[in-house]
Structure 1
Amino acid sequence: MDNQEINDVAKIFGHLIRSHLSIVKRVLEEEGLCPSQPGIIHVLSQCHQATQVELANKLNVTPATISAMLKRMERDGLIERQRSLTDQRVTYVCLTESGIEQAKVVNEIFRELNFRAFGNFSKDEIDQAKFIFRKLLGNLQD
């Protein structure tokens, strides 16, 4: 493949990412969420509780980044912190009732967006997309 073809694919890929992020940001803002919150909401809706370090690892961000995000979410009543009953040094983060309701909204937003993006793909095209995306991830990882 020549350099121009690679540049063309990279340009389309960049446009795709920017379009996706723009739609996600707009829809989340309509729901009163900042773009960093859905990841935390999703993880906590799956595992029910996690430490800050566990969240940082699952979301591939620094603990400092998670700390700032959690402060905002706690202020907004989406999460609460609970001390471990067995080890007082450990604090877990959990969704509040409001956070659980937001998880339902977030899941629906992403379900609709995913269907909008991939709903007209055949099974073979979905398999090809997964293969290509995994290959891209592998190429870009350290």
Structure 2
Amino acid sequence: MKSNALFLREISSEARKIGLTSGQPKILDFLLKYEEADQKTIASYCEIEQATVGSILLRMENSGLIQRRQKDGNRRSLYVSLTNSGKDAAMLLADIFQKVETKATAALSEQEIKTLHILLEKICATMQTV
């Protein structure tokens, strides 16, 4: 838990420097990877309550990071995607993630880093099925 807290604190600090608030880094990272999704999918993937995601998305939309639109005439479901500004912020964020991960694993060998990634993926998979 301490490692996670330290990692998140560093990410949050760097993200604030580029104007991002809590919750926005996860969503930007998701949208950079998947390009477009509805609010429910974003909430599930990012492990954030759907109502909370709604307010985060509103702030992101007001900041020009995302756009929401109807897909195939479905008025009940809005799909979210990055704007050009959002893509730029997401790319800056990817660099931040890489920098912090490099710092966090500096004392590990390449094999230890690979093992760590494998173990963390296994933990995530196990926790998602619980």
TM over 0.5, shorter chain: yes
RMSD value, Cα:
2.2
Identical counterparts, % of pairs = 27
1:61 paired to 2:60: no
Provide the TM-score with structure 1 as the length reference.
0.78
Residues of 2 paired with 1:49 and 1:134: CA distance? 24
1:15 paired to 2:8: no
Structure 1 stretch displaced more, 129-138 or 40-49: 129-138
Say if 1:24 and 1:35, in contact at 8 Å, map to a contact too.
no
Provide the TM-score with structure 2 as the length reference.
0.84
Structure 2 residue corresponding to 1:41, chosen from 3, 12, 28:
28
Residues of 2 paired with 1:57 and 1:109: CA distance? 23
Higher strand share: 2
Residues of 1 paired with 2:129 and 2:23: CA distance? 21
How far apart are 1:18 and its partner, in Å?
2.6
Moved over 6 A (4+): none
Partner of 2:86: 99
1:90 paired to 2:77: yes
Structure 2: segments with no counterpart, 5+ residues: none
Q: Name the SS of the counterpart of 2:59 in structure 1.
A: helix
Structure 1: segments with no counterpart, 5+ residues: 1-13
Given the superposition, is the C-alpha separation of residues 131 and 97 from structure 1 closer, same or farther in structure 2, using an over 3 Å criterion?
closer
